[in-house]
Structure 1
Amino acid sequence: MHWIKAIFIGLILIGLSTVAGFFIWLAPVGAAYSAKIMCSAIFVNGLPSTRAHEEDVLADNNALLSLITTNVDLRNQTVSAHAFGFRKRFAVYRPNLGCTLADDQAQIARLRNATPVIKPIAPAPLLTTSLPAEVDRRALNNVLFDAMDEPGVIPERRTRAALVLHRGKVVAERYAEGISAETPLPGWSITKSVWNTIIGRMRQEGLMPDIHDPVLINEWQSQTGDPRATITYDQLLRMRSGLEFSEAYWNPLSDVVQMLFIEPAAAGFAVSKPLESTPGEVFSYNSGAPNILSAAVRNLSGSRATYLTRPTELLFRPLGMQSAVIETDPEGYFVASSFMHATARDWAKIGQLYLQDGVWNGERLLPKGWVSYSTSPAENDPDGIYGASWWLDLPGGNEDDDNSNHAKIPDDAFFARGHDGQSITVIPSKELVIVRLGITRKREAFNLRKFVADISNLFPDTPAVPDDLPVEGAVIDGAITTSTD
């Protein structure tokens, strides 16, 4: 009987440990995650609260999130969340800045008082056009319909938007039920590629030093002999800072989860991390690096008000991205790693800007050579899969690997990728930009490589222009037009 009693006591202890672990570690993250994701889904993306909760928060996620109670205040545009009355967190919506986490009503009031007034962006819609005669419309429709389809009874793919630009114009787009061309959607880590673009804009406008200079971080420069003071903008963009950082979303105690949902300052948390390798030597993808760059942009901007208008004035306004917002942490720093929203068409404009070598409407927005820099691997990179905040390949790209994901994509393609299956694909040799957005938490539910390859293979290669032949032309609403004189 003693062993039965021991087992019984052991089970009780395990149960108590589980409950304690939930309230100590999981509940704070769960409450913050639920409040933030629901707030953005409702007040930024415009989704019904039921869908925001059941799909954006719960679908294919940790079952313990179902123990979090959420309350939506439509009048005050806030969402609160808690676990059985404990660990309560808030998220508040602010115009032009989306949703931000807060601890209490006093912090909500402070955040609202710090909201900048930003002049509305004039509309600049992308043009639409018919497919080239040599492209099989039925085949393209089949690829898009398949991307929107659910192979099984239980939804797992959840594609919300699929869009194709050819030569700067929309030739095809599909949206899930309740989603339209006017619906802003989260990009998650696509935001990293956008922050690269903002850094490029600052370089073009003479607002920051050379990217190979040490990054301006007060905490590092103020301490004599701090080895982190040698870290450059380039090393952060290429994920080679050498800073310690855990990018494990499944672990509630990992750096990335704590940074995004617990710490009051995402940038400050990332800045505080110690070195674990010599800067520049080791590639280690992490979400801390772009938030350090966010802090650097804040330091370079002079005032808080100027900093909070940087994305709009440097990038969104020139491209006419009316829907775009990048959300901030509670301390007012943009979460440059993860929290941007935009319509599929506005996300596509980012890809089109890079397809056009940083030129838009006849104006150079990015420094000459910036696109080449961003889409080239670091020197001595043995894998060559990452440039500067842009991916250079997709999973399954090794032709020597017997992988069912393998499908041929043009060698010049490059990609912005984000959590839950977000992507922008740019293929210069085809003059294509492909956007796919959704809530896909199981990697096997959607084969991005096959999706991109199937679309790419339907379009002809762009005829090469001899290097010594000048090309006249202008860029109008994102489309390249060449002179016929």
Structure 2
Amino acid sequence: MQLIKAIFIGTILIGLSVVAAFFIWLAPVGAAYSAKIMCSAIFVNGLPSSRARDEDVLADNNALLSLITTNVDLRNQTVSAHAFGFRKRFAVYRPNLGCTLADDQAHIARLRNSTPVIKPIAAKPLLTTSLPAEVDRRALNNILFDVMDEPGVRPERRTRAVLILYRGKVIAERYADGITAQTPLPGWSMTKSVWNTVLGRMQNEGMMPDIHDPVLINEWQAQTNDPRAAITYDQLLRMRSGIEFSESYWNPLSDVVQMLFVQPAAAGYAVSKQQEHSPGEVFAYNSGASNILSAAVRNLSGSRSTYLARPTELLFRPLGMKSAVIETDPEGYFIASSFMHATARDWAKIGQLYLQDGVWEGQRLLPEGWVDYTSSPDESDPDGIYGAHWWLDLPGDRDDEGNPRNGIAELPDDAFFALGHDGQSLSVIPSKELVIVRLGVTRKREAFNLRNFVSDISNLFPDTPTASQNSPDGEDIQDATGPSTD
């Protein structure tokens, strides 16, 4: 009898602990995540609210998210979310800045009143051309059909967009139902690679010091003997800052989750983290580094309005990326680690800029040597898989010693990648003159093999002695493999 009583009491205590943990730790994260992701999916990506909740929020995610109630206000372009009336969070849409988390209606009003006015971007359409005669059309179509297909009865792959540029022109693109060439889609951590590009633009325009100089962070420089004051732009770009930061999306208490969905200032939270290793000593991929660089760009920009215009004026306008937007935290800092949206075609322009060594329409946008710097490992890690906010190989495809796993598909040695949560990818292959974009909502690794996908496509194209210097521009030209919605 005593044992049964003890088991009963223990069960009750465990249940109470789970409920307490939900309301203390999980509910705030769940409400913020649901509000923010749904807001972006509806008002930035243009998806129906039911699809935004069922796919972008709930699909293959933590089942506890289903306990979060969401309300969409189409007129005021806001989304609110709460757990049984507690821990309510809001997200508000603003032109040019996408969606931002807010605490209440007064906070929403303040955010709206601080929205900058940015001149609209004139779109520069990519040219579309026919598939080269030497490329096997049937084989390519089979690859594209497969990537859009589902491997099982239950949807898990959820590819939303695929696009291939060859020599600067679109040769094939496919879109899921309800997604078009005009649909902006999230890149998650591909945003990091774009922020590298913003820094490259600033470097080219003389707006920042040398990348090997200490990064300008007021909090670090203001404190005597703060070891963080020695961290350089280069070390942050290469994920070798030594800052203590946990990058686990499945742990609601991890730094990356707290930074993106709980803390009022993503950049401020990242800046506040303490030193764990000496700068340059250890590679540790983390989103905090990108948001520290966001804070640095704010300090280098002088005024808030200049800072908020940096991505648009330095990058999106020259490339004609009309759809592109990087979202901010509630304090007005770009979340440079995670929250950029753009159409597949506009994402591809970033890759094409790197394929063309930083030159666009005959104008040098990135410094000479920037692309080589970005796509090369740190000197102390010649066999590394990471450059400067770009991947040099696909993570997970190497063993603990850094060697390629047996039986994996080969990729061209010069390929490099922008990668993001939920299976986002931008692949640049200079030797093939290829840029490949794949966007979707793929949360299970086994549902889609990116390495095989990129390898299979690249194997269809001939090697090219030198990279193309085409400058994509002009009207779209429809071709036999052109836009599809299958």
Question: Corresponding residue for 1:477?
Answer: 473
Amino acid at match of 2:454: V
Normalised by the size of structure 1, how large is the TM-score?
0.96
Question: Corresponding residue for 1:482?
Answer: none
Task: Report 1:280-291 matches (<5 A).
Answer: 280-291=280-291
Tell me the CA shift for residue 478 of structure 1.
Answer: 9.3
Question: Corresponding residue for 1:155?
Answer: 155
Task: Report 1:234-383 matches (<5 A).
Answer: 234-381=234-381, 383=383
Amino acid at match of 2:279: P
4+ residue runs over 3 A deviation? 397-404
Tell me the CA shift for residue 308 of structure 1.
Answer: 0.5
Amino acid at match of 1:48: P
Counterpart Cα distance in 2 of 1:401 and 1:83:
45
Question: Corresponding residue for 2:434?
Answer: 432
Tell me the CA shift for residue 267 of structure 1.
Answer: 0.4
Distance 1:65 1:115, change over 3 A: same
Preserved CA contact (<8 Å) 1:362 1:476: no
Superposition RMSD in Å: 1.5
Question: Corresponding residue for 1:393?
Answer: 393
Tell me the CA shift for residue 384 of structure 1.
Answer: 1.3
Normalised by the size of structure 2, how large is the TM-score?
0.95
Tell me the CA shift for residue 238 of structure 1.
Answer: 0.3
Tell me the CA shift for residue 213 of structure 1.
Answer: 0.5
SS at match of 1:228: helix
Counterpart Cα distance in 2 of 1:474 and 1:336:
29
Amino acid at match of 2:143: V
Counterpart Cα distance in 1 of 2:121 and 2:466:
36
Counterpart Cα distance in 2 of 1:335 and 1:17:
33
Counterpart Cα distance in 2 of 1:351 and 1:397:
24
Amino acid at match of 1:477: D
Preserved CA contact (<8 Å) 1:360 1:478: no
Counterpart Cα distance in 1 of 2:61 and 2:81:
17
Tell me the CA shift for residue 227 of structure 1.
Answer: 0.8
SS at match of 1:119: coil
Distance 1:313 1:225, change over 3 A: same
Tell me the CA shift for residue 382 of structure 1.
Answer: 5.6
Counterpart Cα distance in 2 of 1:475 and 1:147:
29
Preserved CA contact (<8 Å) 2:126 2:472: no
Counterpart Cα distance in 2 of 1:455 and 1:274:
43
Tell me the CA shift for residue 380 of structure 1.
Answer: 1.3
Question: Corresponding residue for 1:86?
Answer: 86
Question: Corresponding residue for 1:468?
Answer: none
Gaps of 5+ in 1: 466-470, 480-485
Amino acid at match of 1:47: L
Counterpart Cα distance in 2 of 1:402 and 1:349:
32
Counterpart Cα distance in 1 of 2:105 and 2:39:
15
Question: Does 2:95 match 1:103?
Answer: no
Counterpart Cα distance in 1 of 2:431 and 2:158:
30
Task: Report 1:404-419 matches (<5 A).
Answer: 406-419=408-421
Amino acid at match of 1:22: F
Counterpart Cα distance in 1 of 2:105 and 2:96:
20
Counterpart Cα distance in 1 of 2:398 and 2:434:
19
Task: Report 1:112-131 matches (<5 A).
Answer: 112-131=112-131
Deviations along 1:118-172, one digit per CA (max 9) or x if unpaired, are 1110110000000110001111010011001001110000000011000000000
Counterpart Cα distance in 2 of 1:46 and 1:347:
17
Counterpart Cα distance in 2 of 1:459 and 1:76:
49
SS at match of 1:475: coil
Tell me the CA shift for residue 476 of structure 1.
Answer: 4.2
Question: Corresponding residue for 1:41?
Answer: 41
Question: Corresponding residue for 2:454?
Answer: 452
- In structure 1, which of residues 421, 424, 438 is the aligned counterpart of residue 423 of structure 2? 421
Question: Corresponding residue for 1:141?
Answer: 141
